[in-house]
Structures are given as C-alpha cells and as structure tokens.
Amino acid sequence: MIKEDDMKQVAFIIILCTSLSCNAQTADPHSVYEKFKQQAKQEYSDFRRQANAQYAKFLEESWKRFNALPAIPKPKDETIPPVIVVEEDKDKPIENRAIPIKDVVTTPQPLSQPIPVEPIKEQQQPNEEIVKFEYYGTECAIRINNEVRNMLSNLKSDNSNLSKVWTSLSDKGILNNTIRDCLSLRISLSLCDWAYLNLLFSLSKVIFSNCNETTMLTSYIYCQSGYRMRLGRNGQNLYLLYASEHGIYDMDYFKIDNIKYYPFKCNENQLEICDASFPQEKPLSLYIPLQQTFEYKPSNLRTLISKRYPDVDVRVQVNTNMIDFYNTYPTSEINGNVMTRWAMYANTPLDEHVKSQLYPKLTEKISGLNQLEAANKLLNWVQTAFVYEYDDKVWGHDRAFFSEETLYYPYCDCEDRAILFTRLVRDLLGLQTILVYYPGHLACAVCFTDKVAGDYILLDGKRFVITDPTYIGAPVGKTMPDMDNTQASVILLN
C-alpha cells in the first residue's frame, strides 16, 4: 500500500521538478509557489482514490483463513464486604501515617480521533435523499445517494463482487456527502469511537436492514473515516472486524499482524479475512473523553440523603439514553493492565444534565466549608446515600459503573463509589484524586492543598489522603481495616 511518507515524497518531487522547469530569470516566486501548492493538492486528492483502488485489488486477492483466539477473561477478585466504622471511633483524633504502595498505574492520555486519509469534499449529488433515524433517542439526518442502494443490492461475499463494489463506491465518490455528514455528527454529538461505529451501523441498518449490505456500508464509511478495520466472511455472510487500541474482555478476537481485531455483531470463531491495510488507519479507542450529547430522556427522580449530614438531601435524574448507551459499552484494559479499566470509567466526564441538577445542590451544601469539611460531607453522602450490593448478585458478573450509572441503579459496590467520589471531588473541589486498589477492594485518595491529617500516600512529593467511600461512616484519612497496604496499587486519574 502507499504510505503517507511516500506520498509526501511524491508531492515534493513534483514540486521540485516543476521548479526546475520554470525560468528562474522571469518566474514570480508567489505564482510558482501557488502552482506548486495546487499540484501537490491534486496529488494529495488522488491519494485517497489510489488507496481505494489498491484496497479494491486486495479484496480480489488477499484473503486468509483465521481462527479466533480466546477472549481476555474479565478479572474476578474476591470481593471484600463494606465495613461500618465503630461508633466510638468516628470522632477519634486522626493521625498522620504514610502508607506504602506496591506500584503506580499510569493510564495513557487518549489520542485524537482518526480522520480521513484526506479531506473529503462536498459533492453535488442529484440523486440524494435524506435518511432520518434515531440513535439513542437522538434524531439524526444523513444524506445518501440513491445509487448506493443499487450498488449494494443483493451483495455477494465473493472476491470479485466485493472488489467491484468497493471500486464503484470510491471511484464515483457517491458517499462523500454521507461520510461528511457522519463525521459532522461525530463532532456535534461528541461521539467517542465506540459510539461512532454504532452510529454507522444504525444508519446502515435503516437503509438495508441487518445483512451483507449493512456490513459493507458500515465498513466502507468506517474505513474512509480513518479507522482500522478488516472485512471477514464465513460462506456468504460478510462481517466487519474493528481493531481496538484496548483489550476487550469476554470477546473472542482475531490477531492479524499482531493487532487484535474484534468481530462486530458476529460470533463466528473462524473467518476468511482480507488482511490488506489502508493508509493511515487507526484503531478504535474506548476512551470517552467528552460527554456524549444524546437527546435528554430523564429517568425517574431519585432522592439520595447523607446519613450523617441529612441536609445533604439531593434529588437527581439521569439521561436514560446515556444509560442505554453504557449498557453496550465493552469493558476493556490498556496495555494488558487490568487496573486501567477503572481509570477509563473514572475519567469519563459526568453528563451535563446530571451536573446541572446535582452540582448546584451539592455546592450549596459545602459552601463556606474548608476542603476537609467539604470532602467529609461528600464522602459521607457517597458512603450512606447508596445501597451496597455485590455485582455477582445483581449482574452475575463484575461490572464497573460510570458515574451516571451509580446515580441511576439501586445498588453499587466499592469501585462504583470510588469512581463517583473522585469525579465529585475533581469537579466540585478542584482537587487531584487517585484510585487505590487493594486485592478485592477499591478506595481512593485526595491531594488536599490544605493541611489534612490521616493515612496518606506520597507521590512525587504530593500527599494523597485516603478517602474510602465503602468504609461506611469513616471520615477522610481512615483506611478500612485489614487492608494490605504492601499490596496496594495507585491508579492515576486525569
């Protein structure tokens, strides 16, 4: 395949050759530069066409049989139950005690989302129609050329037919406006990569229903948007495989050139796969760096009251469209480290609708308090306003919650409370937080800028004081009994 660096070299050579052909005595430098720029731009515009032509050729030739590899099993710890602080210990003086830790887990910063190999131009499409569909309660409208229906109609999965269809889609550019509209929605709805892939599938399914045509349309737009994907088949059935930056739990995958590819809407464990690459393709990331701006559909009102501070009496609703989206979200790990999964949940921003209800009320309750007093109020609210229950009993397996899910579902466990509490402290108090993992238990710690006593972890000269949302009734600075600090790991958060 043509590499980006090779393309740049081609453009440079064209500029250089044109330069040499100009009369150095008479040429206007500005006009020469403009000519160079236009020629380079034309070559760059041809790059996507050439890349698609080569990819279509590979669809006719480059297929290999692959066996699925077993899924990464979802981690299962022996869960430590919550502890209620002994009444007489609640108001005892808190002493400073440095806690040793085993290691520090750093979660890499999310990269920018994939983009097309070149800017996709708006095109006049006389045979266009507007396809309207609903995506997690959000009305979407995307242009599509009517010719696409005919091109993909009764799509067969043989090499020749797939190559021919890919060539037709790319040569005429009839999906350019469609791709532009999809990418525009990715921006306007702040869609993460997982949400974008599912948006494309939702669009394609509205047009074709769930079949080979749906897979091909989804795959083509996904590929042209800059994502690393592969086409697979089993007999006449065509499937999309997406490369993931992260290891996804409980999902079999195919390994191609040492990269994990996960089948989308497919349970086959053996596939013929076209292993050709596309220039500048990037894997999907499961980070959610921005709030997904789905249409707001409020849940039932929920009242959450702190036991020790009954004035912290909060009523909140969440967006059930977000809850539905989170129900599809695959749990994953980064760089093979199982503890990174919690950082991905904890670093996801809280929905603006929830913040608009929850944050003014909580801010009012902690107004005028120092950092320790405010943190203790928030901590007790998370400790006592929510009902603890084991994931195995509720879900049948371990499941971490995004903050909105903890506010929505009737039960939560230690990891859910720690994720919510660290989100509140960062947003409301502006303080740095970390997650603290003990085998079987997840707590957290806060880097106060005021002087605060208690059990603490020292990181790069900063003191992070333990705050445990599952040590019920315990104030800031208290570690839950029987925690093995020598086995504790710190998980850094944004």
Please state at what angle helix 159-172 crosses helix 29-61, rounded to 10 degrees: 160
Domains for the chain: give ranges and CATH numbers.
Answer: 4-63 (no CATH), 93-110+293-492 (3.10.620), 128-274 (no CATH)
Beta bridge partner(s), residue 237: 234
Q: For residue 75, what is the DSSP state?
A: P
Long-range contacts from 151-160, C-beta under 8 angstroms, 24+ separation: 152/208, 152/213, 152/216, 152/217, 153/213, 155/211, 155/212, 155/213, 155/216, 155/238, 156/212, 156/236, 157/212, 157/233, 157/235, 157/236, 157/237, 157/238, 159/59, 159/60, 159/61, 159/63, 160/60
Dihedral angle sign, alpha carbons of residues 189, 190, 195, 198: positive
- What pLDDT sits at residue 24? 38
Q: What is the DSSP string of 386-433?
A: SEE--HHHHTSS-----HHHHHHSSEE-HHHHHHHHHHHIIIII--EE
- What pLDDT sits at residue 27? 53
Whether the CB-CB separation of 82 and 472 falls below 8 Å is answered with: yes
- What pLDDT sits at residue 15? 34
The span from the CA of 120 to the CA of 62, in Å, is 27
The span from the CA of 227 to the CA of 220, in Å, is 10
Nearest to 421 by CA among 381, 365, 459, 391: 381
- What pLDDT sits at residue 52? 95
Dihedral angle sign, alpha carbons of residues 409, 343, 264, 178: positive
- Amino acid sitting at position 465: V
Nearest to 455 by CA among 89, 94, 83: 94
Rounded alpha-carbon distances, angstroms, from residue 254 to 10, 56, 187, 189: 35, 22, 30, 31
**pTM recorded for the entire structure:** 0.90
The span from the CA of 453 to the CA of 477, in Å, is 6
- What pLDDT sits at residue 102? 93
The span from the CA of 13 to the CA of 16, in Å, is 5
Neighbours of 325 (CB within 10 A): 22
Give, for all 494 residues of the chain, the pLDDT tens digit: 334 443 333 333 333 333 333 333 445 555 654 554 555 555 555 789 999 999 999 999 999 999 999 999 988 877 889 999 987 777 788 999 999 999 999 988 888 999 999 988 888 888 899 999 999 999 999 999 999 999 999 899 999 999 999 999 998 789 999 999 999 999 999 999 999 999 999 999 999 987 999 999 999 999 999 999 999 999 999 999 999 999 999 999 999 999 999 999 999 999 999 999 999 999 999 999 999 999 999 999 999 999 999 999 999 999 999 999 999 999 999 999 999 999 999 999 999 999 999 999 999 999 999 999 999 999 999 999 999 998 888 988 889 999 999 999 999 999 999 999 999 999 999 999 999 999 999 999 999 999 999 999 999 999 999 999 999 999 999 999 999 888 999 999 99
- What pLDDT sits at residue 45? 59
The span from the CA of 293 to the CA of 190, in Å, is 6
Tokens for 185, please give them.
Answer: 């929605």
The span from the CA of 474 to the CA of 471, in Å, is 6
Whether the CB-CB separation of 181 and 123 falls below 8 Å is answered with: no
Secondary structure element (H or E) that encloses residue 320, with its range: helix 320-326
Tokens for 174, please give them.
Answer: 């009839």
